């Protein structure tokens, strides 16, 4: 079962809207303050990546229920240039050393599950889940 809603990312302000959406859903699901902050930080990172590298895209937030567990799924999808070297962007220190923030390894750490699919010239689809404990 899932319940979804999404935000188009075109300007920097849309990042805030995506965060707000994520926070509302996280709160509703019963995540505590620390996990809410982690989820919104992950959304920030993903939305910023869309804004900076793809130009436009979409952040989708879904509520998940699976085997009696509740969780939140963030989908970040764009039809930008794609990522040429995934291994490199998943390396520690690759983005952070340039002061660009937590980067994708950060998103992976903030969430429980992380999947990335990217095709050069077609776009990137990232899915990150956090389960309520």
Partner 1 sequence: MSQEIEVQYKEILEEYTKKQTEQNLYVGQNFSRQLILENIAPEEVISMHKAAIQELHGELPDVVWHSFDFLIEMMINYGLALQERQSLLKQQEELKVEMDLAANVQETLLKTKLPVLEGLDIGLLSIPARKMNGDYIYFVSDHDGYAGVAVADVIGKGLPAALCMSMIKFGMDSLNSSHALPKDVLGVINRIVEKSVDDSMFVSMFYSNYDAKQARLTYGSAGHEPAILYRARDKEFSELFAKGLLLGVSPAAVYEEHTVDLEKGDLVIMMTDGVTEGRNDDGFIEREVIYELIERKKKEPAQTIVQYVYDELERMQSAQFQDDFTLVIYKKV
Query: What is the C-alpha to C-alpha distance for residues 31 and 72, in angstroms, rounded to an integer?
Result: 10
Nearer to partner 1, 58 or 114 (CB): 114
Size of the site for partner 1 (CB under 8 A): 16
Q: Specify whether the CB–CB gap between 80 and 54 falls below 8 A.
A: yes
The helix-helix angle for 12-29 and 33-49 (nearest 10°) equals 150
Per rule CB under 8 A, is residue 105 in the interface with partner 1? yes
Q: Is 1 or 34 the residue whose CB approaches partner 1 more closely?
A: 34
Q: H helices within 10-117, ranges in order?
A: 12-29, 33-49, 86-89, 103-110
| Distance, CA of 133 to CA of 118 (rounded, Å) | 30
Instruction: Decide: is 38 part of the binding site for partner 1 (CB under 8 A).
Output: yes
Q: Map the footprint of partner 1 across residues 65-94, applying CB under 8 A.
A: 92-93
Decide: is 102 part of the binding site for partner 1 (CB under 8 A): yes
Among 8, 20, 96, 133, binds partner 1 (CB under 8 A): 96
Instruction: Quote the CA–CA distance of 24 and 110 in Å, as a whole number.
Output: 18
Please state, as a whole number, how many other Cβ atoms lie within 10 Å of the Cβ of residue 116: 17
Q: Could you tell me the smallest distance in angstroms from the CB atom of residue 100 to partner 1?
A: 11
Q: Which stretch binds partner 1 (CB under 8 A): 47-55, 57-65, 78-86, 104-112?
A: 104-112
List interacting residues with partner 1 (CB under 8 A). 32-34, 37-38, 40-41, 92-93, 96, 101-102, 105-106, 109-110
């Amino acid at each position: 079962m899932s319940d979804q809603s999404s935000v188009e990312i075109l300007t920097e302000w849309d990042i805030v809207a995506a965060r707000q959406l994520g926070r509302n859903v996280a709160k509703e699901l019963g995540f505590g303050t620390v996990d809410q902050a982690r989820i919104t930080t992950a959304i920030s990172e993903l939305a910023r990546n869309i804004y900076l590298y793809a130009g436009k895209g979409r952040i989708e937030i879904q509520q998940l229920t699976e085997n009696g567990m509740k969780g939140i799924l963030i989908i970040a999808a764009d039809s930008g240039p794609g990522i040429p070297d995934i291994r490199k962007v998943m390396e520690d220190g690759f983005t952070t050393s340039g002061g660009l923030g937590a980067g994708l390894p950060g998103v992976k750490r903030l969430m429980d599950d992380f999947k990335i699919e990217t095709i050069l010239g077609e776009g990137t689809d990232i899915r990150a889940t956090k389960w309520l404990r």
